[in-house]
Amino acid sequence: MIPKKMVVIIGVIILIAANIIALSVTSRRHASFGSGRIALSFAAPFQKAVTRSIRFARGLWRHYFLTVSVAQESYKYKEAFGLAQQQNNQLGELKLTNVRLRSLLDFKKTMTNQVLAAEAIGKDPSQWYKTIIIDKGRDEGVAKGMAVVVPEGIVGQVMGVSAHYSKVLLIIDPNSAVDALAQRTRARGVIKGVSSGRCLFKYVLRKHDVGVGDRVVSSGMDGVFPKGLAVGHVAGVIRRSSGIFQEVTVTPFVDFEKLEEVLVVLSPPKH
């Protein structure tokens, strides 16, 4: 009788041989059976899903890093853009300052009086009074009563002085008074401030011809402001049936809200 162990060995050899023969047959024919299609139809969707998920995750990972790097670059560009914009603004501001200072310099050349340039550094704390603080004072030659002007016209006069700063009473302040005349007709009067930011051309005789749009200039008779400096233009005229004066409203040429640099007239006007 054949031992059991021998039977197992022979069985294994037969299986190996049959496997080799089968492999040899299938490798030559490239046969495709129906079961292959079924398996493919079953497995492929999963494979596809998993593959896509992996690709998506990989893409996401790559995109994340890409986004981070783009974001970093974007920050860098934004920073550079902000800096450029800031520089552009500074240049624009410098350009405007240059224009202002040039105009002030040109005006300074036309003035026969000795003048000193100063910067407005503060405004009156009250809404009811109109003064500014400038950065030049006694040590720079500024004294109480001196006229303060800009190329557009008269600003006001110095009402208080310290060593390096002065307080200037604007012509729109109710306490201010400037001897003036209408340039066209030479009608004389006094420019007084009113709290609304306009001026009144007071004490102009009714018989004098003053019309809307007329330029009003300083007369130089008050001993403070040089003659011929622009004050403003006539905005309204009321001639009442009674009284010897007419009511004339004047809009100043100077924009007092935007005062930055001014000129202090150091020498008094010549009569």
Partner 1 sequence: MTYFLYIGTFVLLLIFQTTIMPYFLLFDRFYDLLAPFVIYLGLFRSTRESIPTIIVFGFIMDNLSGGPLGLYLTTYLWLFAGVKLVITILRVRDNVLLPFVVAAGVLLENIIFMGTITMFESGSRFSQADFSTVAVQVLWALGTGPIFLILFNYLHQRWDQYFKEMFSPQKG
**Residue 140 is a binding residue for partner 1 (CB under 8 A):** no
d(CA 271, CA 253): 25
β partners of residue 154: 149
- The stretch among 51-59, 60-68, 130-138, 222-230 that binds partner 1 (CB under 8 A) is 130-138
- In the shown chain, the binding pattern of residues 162 to 201 toward partner 1, with x for contact by CB under 8 A and - for none, equals -----x-xx--xxx----------------x-xxx-----
The structure tokens listed for 103 are: 């105009």
Binding mask 242-261 for partner 1 (x = CB under 8 A): ---------------x----
Supply the minimum distance, in Å, between the C-beta of residue 123 and partner 1. 5
Binding characters for partner 1, 89-128, by CB under 8 A (x = yes): --------------------------------xxxxxxxx
In degrees and rounded to multiples of 5, residue 201 shows phi and psi of -95, 95
Residue number, 18 or 121, with CB nearest to partner 1:
121
Nearer to partner 1, 129 or 253 (CB): 129
Q: Alpha-carbon distance 36 to 268, whole Å?
A: 114
- Distances in Å between the Cα of 198 and the Cα atoms of 130, 217, 232 are 11, 15, 9
Q: Which is nearer to partner 1, 157 or 219 (CB)?
A: 157
List of residues 6+ apart from 140 with CB closer than 8 A = 116, 118, 164
Task: Provide DSSP, 144-200.
Answer: TT-EEEETTEEEEEEEEE-SS-EEEEETTSTT-EEEEEETTT--EEEEEE-TTS-EE
CB of 242 to partner 1, least distance (A): 17
Footprint of partner 1 on this chain (CB under 8 A)?
A: 121-131, 133, 159-160, 167, 169-170, 173-175, 192, 194-196, 202, 257
